[in-house]
Chain A
Amino acid sequence: MRHIVVIVVLLIASASTPGADTPLKFSDAAQEQRYHALLSELRCLVCQNQSLEDSHADLAQDLRNEVHGMVTQGKSDKEVLEFMVQRYGDFVLYRPPVRDSTWLLWFGPFVLLLLAVIVAVRFSRSRNRGAAPALSDTEQARVQALLRPPADGESR
């Protein structure tokens, strides 16, 4: 029993060993929230499919420190994002700004949707037309004759 207690105590102690991520200090909860919101908006350039929040890359740690420094100094979100874009380009933003080079990225899907609707409409129209081809005069007469109600006394 005593062994188990010792093991548990050691495990707890090892879990709280100060590692690379020492707890950060913020003046209030709102500031901490802003810090985390900003990190999730920023892409880590070393491991490109992770945000700065998730990445364990060395550079990500450095950049988290930068963001932390700026947030606690009272810099606005816009200033922090500008700092990052100045250095790493629009690519660091998970939501890139709308501009000439990103126009296709933002509106391409809608253009494709519009094209698809146009194609679908034209396709269904041409099919409808194909189902009911125009009749010649003689064919029209035959149809009329066939559709005329039978005369009295005549039986089938």
Chain B
Amino acid sequence: MSRYLLPLLIFGVLLGLLAIGLGKDPRRVPSPFIGKPAPVFDLPQLHAPEQRLTMEMLRGHPLLLNVWASWCVECRHEHALLMQLATERQVAIYGLNYKDPRADALRWLEEWGNPYVLTGADQDGRVGIDYGVYGVPETFVIDATGVIRYKHIGALTEQAVREKILPLLADGGGGTR
């Protein structure tokens, strides 16, 4: 009996590992940005292109930086949640409009609502590259000192907001750091 037990055990362990592997989303790549200062940027504002939106302007309070585009289907899925966060919870959300023609982006916000305090227009996607963006939408939690505390890839979910994002924002957003 025991001579069959060991192979069975090994098989079981293998099966378990494979099951875990199947359940993981290969698009969720660990971000090298967590705990590091958010890369500096200097972009024209979407609504007022003659004015700038820079990383320096975002220091001083915890916030969300949401990377979005009007051509991004998943962005529609998280939009209601962003609106709710902005209006009901008074979360400061800034937008990074990624590789999007200005007219399309403006129309999109007009149609679905604008949850962003300010939006930077990253037309050529260079700031996106500096932020390691590879799957829009992406959302960064940046604390008051300008350090990235969390990165969410793909559409925000209520669970991610409840369990990760709100606690991080409430914790003073790194005021203790």
Determine if B12 is an interface residue (Cβ-Cβ < 8 Å): no
Could you say which residues of chain B place their CB within 8 Å of the CB of A85? 32
Distance (whole angstroms) from the CB of A44 to the closest CB of chain B: 9
Q: Flag if B29 contacts A88 (CB, 8 Å).
A: yes
Q: How would residues 103 to 133 of chain B score, 1 for a CB under 8 Å from any chain A CB and 0 otherwise?
A: 0000000000000000000001100011110
- Kindly state whether residue B26 has any CB partner on chain A within 8 Å: yes
Q: Which of B129, B132, B134, B135: most chain A Cβ within 10 A?
A: B134
Give A84-101 interface residues, CB cut-off 8 Å to B. 85-91
Residue pair B134, A45 in contact (C-beta under 8 Å):
yes
Tell me the dominant secondary structure on chain A's binding face: helix
Interface: B21 (CB within 8 A): no
Q: Provide the residues of chain B in CB contact with A8, threshold 8 Å.
A: none
Q: Does A141 contact B (CB under 8 A)?
A: no
Whether B31 sits at the interface, judged by CB under 8 Å, is yes
**Chain B proximity of A62: nearest CB distance (Å):** 5
Contacts of A87 on B, CB cut-off 8 Å? 32, 129-132
Verify if A72 is at the interface (C-beta below 8 Å from B).
no
Residues B130 and A45 in contact, CB atoms below 8 Å apart = no
A33 close to B (CB within 8 Å): no
Q: Given that A86-B32, A91-B29, A91-B30 are known contacts, is A62 also in contact with B131, CB under 8 Å in the complex?
A: no
Query: Does chain A have a CB within 8 A of B99?
Result: yes
- Contact flags A33-72 to B (C-beta < 8 A → 1, else 0): 0000000000001101000000000110011001000000
The docked-state distance in angstroms from the alpha carbon of A66 to that of B131 is 14
The answer on a CB contact under 8 Å between B134 and A89 is no
Cα distance, A58 to B29, chains bound together (Å): 19
Docked-complex contact A89 and B129, CB < 8 angstroms: no
A59 to B128, CA, bound (A): 10
Chain B residues near A91: list those with CB within 8 A. 29-30
Residues on B with C-beta less than 8 A from A58 are 99
Query: Which residues of A approach B to under 8 Å, CB–CB?
Result: 45-46, 48, 58-59, 62-63, 66, 85-91
Known: A59-B125, A88-B132. 14 other contacts (CB 8 A): A45-B134, A48-B26, A58-B99, A59-B134, A63-B129, A85-B32, A86-B32, A87-B129, A87-B130, A87-B131, A87-B132, A89-B31, A89-B32, A91-B29
Q: Please report B residues at the A interface, Cβ cutoff 8 Å.
A: 26-27, 29-32, 99, 124-125, 129-132, 134-135
4 smallest A-B Cβ distances: which pairs? A45-B134, A87-B132, A89-B32, A91-B29
